[in-house]
Amino acid sequence: MPEIETNHRDSELFSPPSDVRGMTELDRTAFKKTVTIPVLKVRKEVVNKLMRSLKRAALQRPGIKRVIEDPEDEEGRLIMLDPYKMFTVDSFEKEELSILKQLNVNPQISKYNLDLTYENFKSEEILRAVLPEGQDVTSGFSRVGHIAHLNLRDHQLPYKHLIGQVMIDKNPGITSAVNKINNIDNTYRNFEMEVLSGEENMMTKVRENNYTYEFDFSKVYWNPRLSTEHSRITELLKPGDVLFDVFAGVGPFAIPAAKKNCTVFANDLNPESHKWLLHNCKLNKVDQKVKVFNLDGKDFLQGPVREELMQQLGPLSKERKHSVHIVMNLPAKAIEFLSAFKALLDGQPCGSELLPIVHCYSFSKDANPAKDVQQRAGTVLGISLEACSSVHLVRNVAPNKEMLCITFQIPAAILYKNQTVNRDNHEDPPLKRQRTDKDF
């Protein structure tokens, strides 16, 4: 019982000083604090043997040495103990006391005044101490090379420069902290940002799934949280497959696909994305395998994609062994672009097993996001997709907002001109599920 009471009483032991509350300009010197820690006095020659047996009792606090010199005895050492567990000799367990006795160590616990500074506190502890009590202090961020990309909430904005500096101080390799100050532009998929602290340089380099990408983060779209999704789609592809990447960005789908010996057509409307897509194709040595375009998504689908599909799905298509995939990663608007597939091709339909497979991304705030995405995509195409598509949950974007990927084969009745569409149940066989984990 005494231990529980002491825990409650000392819960703020390793918190920064209370008088930093409300600080908006970082003053590192204001975080100095002295705390009293229980210690065990030992001879320096027994420290290594003893530490293996005192894992439970020793202080477990990153950034603080567990063994220091005894200021009163140069041949002695002080072992820092957990202040929430160790109070008197009775706090040691039987096995621990046995080891102490074997090594001729006095189990008497002493006190030591430990000086803490800004360097000893974690970023979340600093922000919790500074921001108004009870307010959210989440210190998470997206790392984009040397840049920490934050998404600050309204109550955090008065402290934005302090927050940015703390992120730089506490995360090795981060030299710039930025905050998004508007929603993503639906045309070019970039957003305005302000530098909170550190370098103004937004030119960065990132590694994702063993590929390297370079770009100006202030002018293109990049989200490190999509790494798993880029990998998931790449794993669905086989060498020789054809990939049309309608909203390619700087290449996170296109480049791994090209490395897998797929034929890749990659497009982005943003001139900056187009520039860095070309650059990254060369950087990753796939520039000979990727055809790059700078078109509106609809123009790309009704131009280069249509021309290539006419060849891929033409009279010789029966001899074709590879699949055709179309990736549409523009979650805010991609479903609208599905209308471009309606009556896109002339001639006789190819076999249903050769029809292109679409991976279309979308956001949903619906209580049943999978059904919502299926219904919205089906409405644009003019058919029901509920029996012939799979929906993969990509990630939770915000409270009650999901990012999903709906995958389906485009029915011949939709893709080809002069075909009859059965709105409720087209004749093409249901698409085999591409992936079952995390599907709805």
Residue 71: other Cβ atoms inside 10 A: 9
Closest CA to 246 of 347, 335, 149, 313: 335
**Strand-strand pairing, 203-208 and 211-216:** antiparallel
User: Which of the 8 DSSP states describes residue 303?
Assistant: I
Sheet containing strand 324-328, edge to edge, reads 290-293, 263-267, 242-245, 324-328, 357-364, 401-409, 389-398
> Can you tell me whether residue 396 is helix, strand or coil?
strand
152 neighbors 160 (Cβ within 8 angstroms): yes
Residue 298 phi/psi, 5-degree rounding, is -65, -45
Rounded-to-10 torsion of CA 383, 349, 240, 293: -70
Strand, coil or helix: 121: coil
| 269 marked ligand binding residue | yes
* Per-residue tokens: 392: 């993969």
Burial 53-66 (b: 16+ CB within 10 A, else e): bbeebbbebeeeeb
CA 240 – CA 232 distance, rounded (Å): 18
Q: Is 268 annotated as a binding residue?
A: yes
Do the annotations mark residue 297 as ligand-binding? yes
Q: Which residues of 13-60 form beta strands (DSSP E)?
A: 33-43
Binding residues for S-adenosyl-L-methionine: 230, 268-269, 296-297, 329
Binding residues: 230, 268-269, 296-297, 329
